[in-house]
Homo-oligomer: A and B are copies of this chain.
């Protein structure tokens, strides 16, 4: 048993902290061997100082430098695939294949390479040139970024390898990674690959750093520290709100992905047309990965009918016969069970599940709950509490009017889905409901479950609070996600040779720039 080192200013060094923690294998409930340190504030300050120095070094570097690092890092991860996915499996219980090895790891390296391509191309800076006034502007690095990763994607959202990391680096910022306590070993393996890439591409020593855990107070001090540029956080609403308050108080941007129940509306025509297929599609989407996705469909809204009853029965049967997946940790199981109790207290009735499952691992029966539209409208907040895991709540409205009133109750969500029939009988109702839901969600879907989150430039993995902290930004999708970690910089009457290369008259790399209102890849002549 050994205490693992932290990565500070380019050195893997023993932590100054006395406290340690261990990861637990959720499939066995047994602790894993390695111990990981809790960093004291003095150590966090060292990290901040090194990040500050690194930022002063890289400020103004061309995108090519950051791209070279990101590409080298993706290669270094690929040189360690088996070790990474094996340890991630032990720490999270997620299957090696296909999930970790064939889906999440390639997604991770793909994100790093897409970020590399975007920073190399440079168009993400939104260079804007007004030749009449001589004013030019662009987005530029905001300063060291702290990334707090979640428990549910040990690779693709990892604090030192995931989407926030890639975006922060692509914008030109050093990253301070705060690993998630449920998969510290995986995070360390990724950090070793990152460290190798830092060295291979001559990045400054403080450009990528890793600590595993701090006290809550020190987390709040980190996100509000004068040296910090911004924070990316994905995780629980409670912990996130503490960080948000600390950062907001000193005007430090913090991008949070907090909680989302992702309402799915299945309209009557669709249910008549393909109810059985939809029951299968929903069951599979909801139980995949034991429901531990940010975009898990946590609420389904239906209109009362015999077909709705049959749909509920079919889903209940599917839930009952599907073995429950392993939950990520004891804490997740505990919160999940508490979440179900809270929904019951708020008036939801159990349709199936709500019982302990296999005691040798963290898990709980696939659970389906239901309420009437009346009940939902009476207690919309209580019935929108997220039970993160393999559960969903059906809301059964009495009529079209009540469907609209249910829709109006939704808080901000990442996604909202509508299933309608092919012959148009649902269209009038869709036209009434969709604008209400549209305003409350980041991504609207038709005839599709929300669980897939493509890395597309048009993706919005974001949405109004409480899904995130600001509805204008996305955590997934390049280049949009990069702009979160940038500040707007205007140049007024700056002597031409002093302008950054991206804003000079010559445009040798054919960046897209907005010149006098028109997008162009040309020089200014």
Contact = CB atoms under 8 A, between A and B. Distances in A.
B130 A492 contact: no
Interface stretch (A69-77, A193-201, A393-401, A437-445): A437-445
A145 interface: no
Contacts of A253: 470-472
Nearest to A462: B488
B460 A488 contact: yes
A448 B493 contact: yes
Contacts of A462: 488
Contacts of A471: 142, 253, 487-488
A60 interface: yes
A137 interface: yes
Interface in A279-311: none
Nearest to A467: B251
A486 B442 CA distance: 12
Contacts of A245: 248-249
Interface in A126-169: 128-130, 132-133, 135-137, 139, 142-143
A488 B457 contact: no
Contacts of A443: 489-492
B438 A489 contact: yes
B490 A483 contact: no
Interface stretch (A103-111, A266-274, A350-358, A511-519): A511-519
A128 B445 contact: no
Given A456-B135, A457-B130, A469 B251 contact: yes
A443 B128 CA distance: 13
Interface string A238-281: 00000011001111110000000000000000000000000000
A489 B252 contact: no
Nearest to A436: B56
Interface string A47-74: 0000000001001100000000000000
A465 interface: yes
A14 interface: no
Contact of A252 (B56, B143, B456, B465): B465
Interface in A495-522: 495, 498, 512, 514, 517-519
Contacts of A518: 512
A128 B488 contact: no
Contact of A129 (B56, B444, B458): B458
A95 B324 CA distance: 75
A494 interface: yes
Contacts of A143: 439
Nearest to A471: B487
Contacts of A249: 245
Contacts of A512: 518-519
A474 B462 CA distance: 22
A434 interface: yes
A498 B129 CA distance: 35
Nearest to A60: B435
A26 interface: no
A430 B251 contact: no
B444 A494 contact: yes
B458 A487 contact: no
B489 A434 contact: no
A30 interface: no
A514 B458 CA distance: 9
Interface in A218-250: 244-245, 248-250
A330 interface: no
A459 interface: yes
12 contacts: A130-B456, A130-B458, A132-B456, A248-B248, A252-B465, A444-B490, A446-B495, A448-B492, A457-B514, A464-B487, A474-B490, A519-B519
Given A136-B458, A137-B459, A460-B490, 8 more contacts: A133-B458, A251-B464, A251-B465, A430-B498, A434-B498, A442-B488, A460-B488, A472-B487
